[in-house]
Structure 1
Amino acid sequence: MSVSLSPSSASPSFGGLLSETSRQRITVLGATGSVGKSTLDILSRNPECFEVVALVAHSNVEELAAQARRVRAQVAVIARADLHDALKTALAGSGIEAAAGEAAVLEAVERPCDMVVGAIVGAAGLKPTYAALRAGRSLALANKECLVCAGDLFMAQVHATGATLLPVDSEHSAVFQVFERDNADQIEKVVLTASGGPFRQASLEAMASVTPEQALKHPNWDMGSRITIDSATMMNKGFEVIEAFHLFPLTADQLDILVHPQSVIHGMVQYRDGSLLAQLGSPDMRTPIAHCLAWPRRIEVPVERLDLARIASLSFEAPDPVRFPALPLARVAMESGPVATASLNAADEVAVAAFLERRIGFLDIPAAVAAVVERMSAGSSGSVSSIDDVLAVDAQARAFCREWIAGR
């Protein structure tokens, strides 16, 4: 059963996930991250609907153990093998199994469950999230790298196993909610909205001297550090265009971006009859997460309700590709293929980390990424055939980006 509307899906079928008579079994990858914490908040508030099979985290032992105790998980897995003893100690007396290391992470994914929430940040999420699809699990996907770096591979696996893939990103969730699957061929375009970040109206001169503290002050969303910086450069929106290209049966020129500072409308679909359907909601990730967990039903989520009379007005503007070169860069990478998009992501991750460490400037982030993508794309066939191929591209692109930064 394929829920995602990918370019290769001519007639996807839609079935229900959340049963009215039994609890759904959930595994959370990236449990201690921003999306993971929001997911656990929803699961803990709805114990009659969900039971937790496994929680996976990278290195935060204390947080993982506390989460596992709170939701009574069957197993807690820490990715760093050297932290196994610490996790066992933190879970002592709870009856919750403790495991550690890459093999344990993959084993947790293979445990029978109804849905895996893929929220591991970065390329580290590729293998376990892909393993979830190979096992035919329903997947609530929050890891951008999966589709940005390996969209063709992931969507091929969705169709091969009949897995259900539901988007967690607020923009893609919004589009999914107003995308009339029976009228997919009647769609003119899909619009992803962007807040514009903290520098929406800043000049290039001002952006050249931006500090990490300024860039981390997102006007609307509370997110992790990398995605917050990516929102400030608008690289995040470029990634989302690539993701949407894989998720929905659209051509590249049917994907558009519109800056919407209030972050009330998250996505829109324009139909050939002139109708423009939009999904609105408060900027709280618990809404799209809950939509995935309960789909096709709805469950109570304690998010702030929109008061349109108080908001009074909504504004929109076209993005500026000169001040935000990450947007056209992402489109070029998407048209070039998976080597370019995997390089785009890898270089961005390294460049963002360097900016946060004050080793490069804010405008150096897209400059570094552009240099790496061009270098990686030169002489490349542009194709990959496995996750290992993607990870090899990722490693090489990171090395090139570190070289570029060292030469500044």
Structure 2
Amino acid sequence: MNQSASAEGAVTSRVMRRLLPFLLLMYVLAFLDRANIGFAQKALQQDTGLTNAAFAFGAGVFFVGYAIFEVPSNLLLHRVGAKLWMCRIMVTWGLVSAAMAFAHNATTFYTLRFLLGVAEAGFFPGIVYYLTRWFPQSSRARALGVFYFGAPLAFIFGAPLSGLLLDLHGALGFKGWQWLFLVEGLLASIVGVWAFWYLDDHPAKARWLTQDQRALLVARLDEDARSASLHGPRSVLASLVDPRVLVLCCVYFLIQAAVYGVVFYLPQQVSALLGAKVGFRVGLVTALPWIAAVIVTWIVPRYADRTGRHRSCAAALLVLSGIAIAVSGLAGSPVVSIIALCCAASGFIAAQPLFWTFPTRYLTGAAAAAGIALINSLGGLGGFFAPMARTAAEAAFHSTSAGLMVLAGASVLAALIIVALVRVPVRRPECQPITHGETADAS
């Protein structure tokens, strides 16, 4: 058993080295292209006359297009393969993101943000599904944790980059925010073409693995799939109405509300704390919460994989995030607020790879493609409602802190639902099928 575990660990490490850096690059560009309007906000509003409410609607309408086409997109990925479909997604979303440089009025802004959601639909759940076809359950949280570095890395490197692009204001006759959308969008399209030549659809097709490594990995993944099929729906329709999937949709909705309610306004919040305009300096400080998130996301999923406490760790991280979001709005000190934002980002980023181990324990095949997509699409609507809820709360209570309290409450409520309602089957360390009714974090 030790020799088998050692061989599995070696092949898993090889797969991580091969796939995760590239998938990480893809996610960095995806997250940057959906969230870079936070950097462009002030300049964009000045040049186009967008009101705060119009900006909030445009920021969120992305998730409407995303939600509508999420399930069909992931089912197409399941049918045609990841390399072709990921190439299509990245090329089209990059072109739409670049076109944001020409959003000179509210109608164009709304339309392009909606189309960006349509173009990107299926990317994230597609990657989660893709990882289930490469990583056994015993290493899946670690793999998802590394993939989730994409969100913080998008700000660690993307924040200063976005600041520098904004500082190009006037170059070649373009505004700074136009440079921001053009450069970051076209980068995504270039990487999308690269993805077609770099990715393999399944371990059986991976020529960079030895024959023995392919056989071992395929056998282990088939074992996980058989275990999952014992506990979850087997058809697409059954997965879409499964009560456990619907509960996870609610949890993910609340998580995404907290994430994007913070992300879309983080550069402006840091700008206000520093008393400086959004540029390179603000971009550097904005990167600090995401550096903290990378560290925590590296540590906690590994601890959860080792101990099996994915559920309790996820709940604790979301409570930490909620408290920190509240503190960031109430603290009178900029230093305390920045530290609180570091804790908030660490909590809601590190909790998400743990969250995705819940559905992948009982969803497999086409049911997994559909169920994961549904969770991401309905849950992702939290990113649509969060900016408007934050703006409405601030207007109603005449306080910027009020919006943050709403986001803090969403994060804590997500933790409570996980503790109260989420139960997922687990596999024993010796990889034997579990008995019916055994659940994660049962201890």
Question: What is the TM-score with the length of structure 2 in the denominator?
Answer: 0.25
Compare the two structures and name the one with the higher strand fraction: 1
Compare the two structures and name the one with the higher helix fraction: 2
Question: What is the TM-score with the length of structure 1 in the denominator?
Answer: 0.27
* Greater RCO (Cα-Cα under 8 Å, separation 6 or more): 2
